[in-house]
């Protein structure tokens, strides 16, 4: 069954797909760097890396028959004797000490006309160490607020007493309220008695004085 093998179909039949891969891999092994669409580039990478693995196996063995067998398998896939000869004789030395990852893909801007995604496919050189991630700068330590407790001479940090602080706050508020009440009391003027009541009191006091004087004369 063909479950899990539906990858890189490229919208064509098997025979057409094999011809596309043969043409692209031949150009890659000849020129080390080619430009194509992103879909073709992603399909070419596993195809070409398997051929490079064949070349590495051929270089690692001393059996002439096995070398010839691997070379013929590569020719059957690439369909270009000159490109396979370059790979097995010259370019294989780049990959002897590399455990994998022989091809790199760079994405380009879209192609003018049909807006197809473009990419560059290249063989990685033997001394290429790849892209190293830049080291992130160390984060600065956060500044401690000034309100934090400072250590005493004994070395123990003095922590504020939350209960005393809470009790002192209402007391200060009550004292300020009393002071404000006294100030408002001083500012208010004393209430004056009505004028009619004071005149009546004076008249009654004068009448009582006259009566007392008449009683004394008798």
pLDDT digits (tens, 9 = 90+) for 14-45: 999 999 999 999 999 999 999 999 999 999 99
In a domain, residue 47? The reply is yes
Number of folded domains that form the chain? 1
What's the CATH code of the domain at 91?
3.90.1030.10
Expressed as residue numbers, the domain containing 88 is 14-123
The sign of the dihedral angle between the CA atoms of 177, 182, 186, 192 is positive
List the structure tokens of 192: 């004056």
In a domain, residue 83? The reply is yes
Cβ neighbours for 105, distance < 8 A, ≥ 6 positions apart: 38, 41, 42, 45, 119, 120, 121
pLDDT of residue 202: 73
**pLDDT of 39-88, one tens digit each?**
999 999 999 999 999 999 999 999 999 999 999 999 999 999 999 999 99
What one-character-per-residue DSSP string does 147-178 give? TSPPB-TTSPBPPP-HHHHHHHHHHHHHHHHH
> Do 42 and 105 touch, CB atoms closer than 8 A?
yes
pTM exceeds 0.85, yes or no: no
Q: For residue 153, which phi and psi values (nearest 5 degrees)?
A: -65, -30
């Amino acid at each position: 069954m063909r479950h899990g093998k539906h990858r890189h179909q490229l919208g064509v039949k098997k025979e057409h797909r094999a011809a596309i891969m043969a043409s692209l891999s031949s150009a890659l092994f000849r020129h080390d760097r080619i430009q194509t669409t992103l879909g073709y580039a992603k399909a070419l990478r596993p195809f070409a890396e398997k051929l490079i693995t064949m070349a590495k196996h051929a270089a690692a063995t001393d059996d002439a028959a096995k070398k010839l067998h691997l070379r013929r398998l590569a020719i059957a896939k690439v369909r270009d004797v000159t490109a396979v000869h370059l790979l097995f004789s010259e370019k294989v030395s780049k990959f002897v000490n590399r455990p994998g990852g022989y091809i790199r893909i760079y994405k380009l801007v879209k192609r003018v006309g049909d807006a197809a995604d473009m990419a560059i496919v290249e063989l990685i050189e033997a001394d290429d160490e790849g892209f190293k991630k830049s080291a992130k700068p160390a984060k600065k330590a956060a500044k401690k607020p000034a309100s934090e407790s400072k250590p005493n001479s004994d070395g123990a940090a003095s922590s504020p007493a939350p209960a005393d602080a809470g009790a002192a706050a209402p007391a200060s508020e009550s004292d300020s309220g009393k002071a404000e009440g006294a100030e408002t009391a001083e500012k208010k003027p004393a209430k004056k008695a009505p004028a009619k009541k004071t005149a009546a009191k004076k008249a009654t006091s004068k009448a009582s004085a006259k009566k007392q004087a008449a009683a004394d004369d008798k």
